[in-house]
């Protein structure tokens, strides 16, 4: 699924845990590992990194390490393109402060602009465990069939048997307000019809996919889907949320947050962006 997995590293307290997480995933997917560090390359840092790589069972000869100087987000993105990376791993904060939100953290910039899929880990572990409770965004978007397909494949390889696909009823308030002009039965029938349409949308995608080994729960919500996704992930203590990419954000967009921006500002769990 991923031939090349890259990990952006900084010499921070979480670096060892991130490398341990990367080791688990490259073993799982049979991938090549590329480490990307933006900063000055020194003999001391090289020696320290080599020691950590060896400590976590990696062969230094089989790990490609890229050192770049410049703006972190720009250099990370450049390295991923040069190396044809399939999946980029990043450490991310669970909750960003106001200043970080408006200026844009490195992780946020990379997520928005990366051409490859991006996995952000909010709490990497020295002794990593597999993702067991996975939520996939099934809201009707152009990218959704790909998100569901890639999400199921990821879960099968990972061995995460329980998958929750969350779908939002589009324009629910408007449609129910219109139905509200009729009888109570008409309102009830409209609500049921809307739910059935969303379930049918997801089911039609699933019908063409391999679902072996997976228990899939389809849930339909009527609220703003970013809020509902976060709320649902928190309610089941999900450890991974899978969703698609949305392009074209500007500073003005962040003043009036889009759904992905809202989720990035307060991550409910680890996040995989499928591109």
**pLDDT 10s digit of each residue in the chain, 275 long?**
999 999 999 888 889 999 999 999 999 999 999 999 999 999 999 999 999 999 999 988 899 999 999 999 999 999 999 999 999 999 876 554 443 433 447 777 888 889 999 999 988 999 999 999 999 999 888 889 999 999 999 999 999 989 999 988 764 444 444 545 556 666 677 778 888 888 999 999 999 999 999 999 999 887 677 788 888 999 999 999 999 876 544 444 443 345 666 676 678 899 999 99
| φ, ψ (nearest 5 deg) of residue 175 | -65, -40
Q: What was the pLDDT predicted at 267?
A: 80
Q: What was the pLDDT predicted at 165?
A: 96
Q: How many degrees, rounded to 5, is the angle at CA 213 between CA 155 and CA 274? A: 20
Contacts of residue 92, Cβ cutoff 8 Å, sequence gap at least 6: 105, 107, 120, 121, 122, 267, 271
Alpha-carbon distance of 195 to 188, in angstroms, equals 11
Coil, strand or helix at 58:
coil
* pTM metric for this prediction: 0.86
Q: What was the pLDDT predicted at 37?
A: 95
Tokens standing for 217? 């729960």
Coil, strand or helix at 84:
coil
Q: What was the pLDDT predicted at 251?
A: 44
Q: How far is CA 103 from the centre of its chain?
A: 21
């Amino acid at each position: 699924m991923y031939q090349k997995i890259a990990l952006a590293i900084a010499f921070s307290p979480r670096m060892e845990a991130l490398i341990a997480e990367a080791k688990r995933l490259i073993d799982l997917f049979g991938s090549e590992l590329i480490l990307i560090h933006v900063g000055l390359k020194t003999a001391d840092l090289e020696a320290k990194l080599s020691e950590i790589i060896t400590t976590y069972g990696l062969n230094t000869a089989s790990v490609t390490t890229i050192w770049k100087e410049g703006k972190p987000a720009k250099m990370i993105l450049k390295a991923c393109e040069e190396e044809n990376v399939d999946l980029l791993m990043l450490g991310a904060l669970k909750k960003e402060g106001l200043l970080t939100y408006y200026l844009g953290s490195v992780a946020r910039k990379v997520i928005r602009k990366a051409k490859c899929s991006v996995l952000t880990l909010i709490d990497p572990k020295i002794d990593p465990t597999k993702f067991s409770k996975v939520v996939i965004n099934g809201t009707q978007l152009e990218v959704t069939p790909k998100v569901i397909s890639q999400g199921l494949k990821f879960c099968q390889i990972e061995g995460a048997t329980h998958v929750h696909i969350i779908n939002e009823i589009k324009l629910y308030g408007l449609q129910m307000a219109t139905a509200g002009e009729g009888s109570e039965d008409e309102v009830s029938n409209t609500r049921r019809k809307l739910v059935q349409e969303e379930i049918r949308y997801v089911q039609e995608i699933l019908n063409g996919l391999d679902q072996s080994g997976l228990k899939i729960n389809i849930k339909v919500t009527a609220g703003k889907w970013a809020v509902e996704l976060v709320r649902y992930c928190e309610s089941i203590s999900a450890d991974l949320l899978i969703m698609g990419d949305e392009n074209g954000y500007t500073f003005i967009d962040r003043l009036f947050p889009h759904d992905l921006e809202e989720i990035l500002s307060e991550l409910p769990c680890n996040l995989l962006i499928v591109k």
